Amino acid sequence: MTERFSPGDRVRTSNRDPAHHTRLPRYARGAVGEVVQVAGHHPLADDRARGRQSPPQAVYHVRFAATDLFGEGDHAVTVELWDGYLEPVPDVEEEQGS
């Protein structure tokens, strides 16, 4: 199976606020982090929690700077996140529109 992201890629998490079970914690919504490693392929928990069939998708360990999540702290927080929670982040140059 191929993965959309590789270690070192910068990703932004979804900002959606689902009413159902999800493995994307509130504190990590809409945040930018870096893929650390691929952690296998698994059915999306959001779907399985609702009794739905779900094909396996890539799960990643994504590392965030604590200050990006909580506004303070000099440590990192690594969260296990499904591919569907993530969007690519353009290079910094593109982001700044230069």
Partner 1 sequence: MSRINDVGGVEGFPGVVEEADEPAFHADWEAHVFALNGALLKRRVYTLDEFRDAVERMPPEAYLAASYYERWFAAITTLLVEKGVASAADLVPADD
- Applying CB under 8 A, the residues found at the interface with partner 1 are 17, 19-21, 25-27, 45, 48-51, 69-70
52 to 30, 40, 47: CA distances (angstroms): 26, 20, 5
Pick between residue 9 and residue 63 the one whose CB is nearest to partner 1: 63
Burial of 83 (0-12, 13-18, 19+ CB in 10 A): middle
* In the complex, minimum distance from the CB of residue 82 to partner 1, in angstroms, rounded to a whole number: 12
Pick between residue 21 and residue 37 the one whose CB is nearest to partner 1: 21
* In the complex, minimum distance from the CB of residue 68 to partner 1, in angstroms, rounded to a whole number: 12
- Which amino acid is located at 55 in the chain? P
Pick between residue 49 and residue 95 the one whose CB is nearest to partner 1: 49
Pick between residue 59 and residue 69 the one whose CB is nearest to partner 1: 69
C-beta separation of 89 from 95 below 8 A: yes
* In the complex, minimum distance from the CB of residue 2 to partner 1, in angstroms, rounded to a whole number: 25
* In the complex, minimum distance from the CB of residue 19 to partner 1, in angstroms, rounded to a whole number: 6
Element holding 66 (H helix, E strand): helix 66-70
Q: Rounded to 5 degrees, what are φ and ψ at 58? A: -65, 140
